[in-house]
Every structure is written in structure tokens, then in C-alpha cells.
């Protein structure tokens, strides 16, 4: 499970990847 750095909290890897891609 990857932590969403954008959210700063533990979230599913799938969502974290989407969040990271959205931020980038």
C-alpha cells in the first residue's frame, strides 16, 4: 500500500497513484 503524499494519509495505492498523477 502506497501512502498518498498529496493527501498526507494512508490511502489505497490505486487512489494514491491517481492523486500523484493528478498533482504532477
Residue 18: per-residue pLDDT? 63
Per residue of the chain (24 residues), give pLDDT as tens.
454 555 555 555 556 666 665 555
Kindly report the number of other CB atoms within 10 A of residue 16's CB atom: 19
Residue 20: per-residue pLDDT? 60
If phi over 0 gives left and psi between -120 and 50 gives alpha, with beta otherwise, what is residue 8? left
Residue 23: per-residue pLDDT? 54
Strand partners of residue 11: none
pTM over 0.95: no
Q: Is the dihedral of CA 17, 24, 4, 7 positive or negative?
A: negative
Residue 5: per-residue pLDDT? 54
Amino acid at each position: 500500500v502506497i501512502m498518498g503524499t498529496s493527501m498526507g494519509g494512508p490511502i489505497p495505492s490505486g487512489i494514491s497513484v491517481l492523486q500523484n498523477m493528478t498533482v504532477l
